[in-house]
Amino acid sequence: MDEEQKKMALRMIPYGIYILTCESEDGTVSAATVNWVTQASFKPPLVATAVKLESLAHGLVKARGVFALNILGQGQGDIAYGFFKSAEREGNTIGGRSFSAGTTGSPILDDTTAFVECRLVDTVEMGDHSVFVGEVVNAGIPKPFEGRADQAVLAMADLGDKVFYGG
């Protein structure tokens, strides 16, 4: 297999940009930019996301059994960049972004386009990421948007010609 062609082919899979959040029992918060996310079932409503094994988010989601996906919209690339690396909690902010606790206790960022809160129902551990399957137990759209819902989402391509993940 040609490694460069494999990398380019895998990068052709379109990705939205999300901030996965979780809070531990002791108040430790993780917020990480993720992009390997998809809806996996209508009934029950399930989503699947891949999370790097050695990340703080991975450990917190496994321990707590809940997480939130904060969905970024067009023009919110600065939020994505802010969570490419670890962000610290200060009061009710993470990396300078205000949040409130969702119904699962997971942080819901106040300035994102939408969110889904999930209860972890299965984990597939293979390779350098685990796939977490979560049942959607709450969702919201804090502010109205125009047009199709799938076109309101910030896409990986919107972050510029030099930003890739995958391959």
Partner residues linked to 98 by β-bridges: 93
Judged by phi (left if over 0) then psi (alpha if -120 to 50, else beta), residue 3 lies in: alpha
Q: How confident is the model at residue 145 (pLDDT cuts 50, 70, 90)?
A: confident
Instruction: Tell me the percentage of the chain whose pLDDT exceeds 90.
Output: 60
pLDDT of residue 107: 96
> Which fold would CATH assign to domain 21-142+151-159?
Pnp Oxidase; Chain A (2.30.110)
Average pLDDT, the chain: 89
Residues written for the chain: 167
Query: Which residues touch 91 (CB under 8 Å, ≥6 apart)?
Result: none
pLDDT of residue 156: 67
Quick count: other Cβ atoms within 10 Å of Cβ 138?
Answer: 15
Q: Provide the whole-model pTM.
A: 0.90
Q: How confident is the model at residue 115 (pLDDT cuts 50, 70, 90)?
A: very high
User: What does the domain layout of the chain look like in residue ranges?
Assistant: 21-142+151-159
- Rounded to whole angstroms, how far apart are CA atoms 142 and 66? 21
